[in-house]
Amino acid sequence: MTPIKPINLFEYETRAKEHLSQMALDYYASGAGDEITLRDNRAAFERYKLRPRMLVDVSQRDLSTKILGQTLPLPILIAPMAFQCLAHPEGEIATAKAAAKLGSTMVLSTLATKSIEEVANASQNRIPSFPCSARERNSRLWFQLYVHRDRGLTKALVERAYKAGYQALCLTVDAPVLGKRERDMRNQFALPPGMELANLAALSDLEIAYKPGESGLFAYFLEQLNPALTWKDLEWLQSLSPLPLVVKGILRGDDAIRAVECGAKAVIVSNHGGRQLDSAIASIDALSEIVAAVGNKADILVDGGIRRGTDILKALALGAKAVLLGRPILWGLAVDSEAGVQHIIELLRDELDIAMALSGCANLGDIDSSLVIGF
């Protein structure tokens, strides 16, 4: 008898626990410190309530949106997540294939376990010679960047992403050091033998290794990533390629304005899934201030705690152009590889479609702040 597919994201999370090692599960699921922000990311969505409109013609609905000038069929992107091969041997390749099938944008992590080029090929991307025109870059892939102390390494990563056809550079700014993730410390987190940092594979001294009494990932951040990064460095990053800059990890209106002034074309409101500063504000609670500060000067996206189509509707009502999905993608990957990731996105797409119909919204332009109230 064919097993019944999970009918929502929470069921996928439950089933994923059967497929993951304890170390992998704790790495994916955990937050920093007491995990206050991790829990609040979810609880905050539940505090917002919807105020639907009635007697609106919703017989035809359009879920498309435009991000960085490109029309997407749905307002759901895949957030950058490291070490996806811990969930399934195909890792980021399976995720990329699922995203390509649905026309969703995938953001590839610097700390991926499949390379920039492998993921580009998996998403059926045409890889032109460097340099190339924007028209030739035809994949819906962004590259998430951690700036290393070695600027030559950082420069090489950006150039590889551009050459491989990625369409944006997504700079994570909320991780000058790694948050204190106690589950990883307890497990002394390290990548299993045979698994590597695929984008850094040529550099044998860069690895996530066992460190007695601590997380190997914490040691990696301490040794390799640059905690001295400032707003001034954004100009240098943008000089490395013509890719539009997306700044991820903003929780304040003044920081969002600064990001736009420094050239960012999009801002991702994010607290890193509750994995960095514990007690930081929930992403959805920070959204309205940032939207008000930035206006139409840049695209605003948000991540953290999204588990239902109604969550996406609330985020759009508060001013986001789209959302990024994190952990649920990993649950789908662990349960059923590419098909699991695809089903996760389809579940949210279908839930959003229903929520829009029941709220009197035929397209994303109909969604505004009058639809939602916070308590």
307 labeled binding residue: yes
CA distance 242 to 244: 6
Q: Has 326 been labeled as part of a binding site? A: yes
How does strand 266-269 pair with strand 65-67?
unpaired
Indicate if the alpha-carbon torsion angle 229, 235, 236, 239 is positive or negative: positive
183 is in an annotated binding site: no
Give residue for tokens 């990533």: 225
6 annotated as a binding-site residue:
no
- Four-residue CA torsion sign, 204, 207, 210, 211: positive
Question: Could you tell me if 142 and 172 are in contact, meaning their C-beta atoms sit under 8 angstroms apart?
Answer: no
| 2 known ligand binder | no
Q: What is the DSSP letter of 194?
A: T
343 noted as active-site residue: no
Is 220 labelled a binding residue?
no
Q: Is 181 annotated as a binding residue?
A: yes
CA distance 248 to 240: 18
In angstroms, the Cα distances linking 196 to 10, 193, 201 are 30, 8, 7
Residue 64 known to bind ligand: no
Establish whether 306 is an annotated binding residue: yes
Q: Is 81 annotated as a binding residue?
A: yes
Residue 113, marked binder: no
Residue 285 among known ligand-binding residues: no
Q: Tell the residue number behind the tokens 């106690």, with chain if given.
A: 182
Q: Which of 88, 148, 272, 343 is catalytic?
A: 272
Q: Cβ atoms within 10 A of the Cβ of 138, count?
A: 14
In the block, residue with structure tokens 């919204």: 361
Contact status, residue 50 vs residue 371, Cβ threshold 8 Å: yes
Q: Which residues pair with 373 in a beta bridge?
A: 49
30 is in an annotated binding site: no
Q: Is 272 annotated as a binding residue?
A: yes
Task: Provide the annotated active-site residues.
Answer: 272
**Binding-site annotation, residues for glyoxylate:** 27, 146, 181, 272, 275
Binding site feature residues for FMN: 80-82, 109, 144, 172, 248, 270, 303-307, 326-327
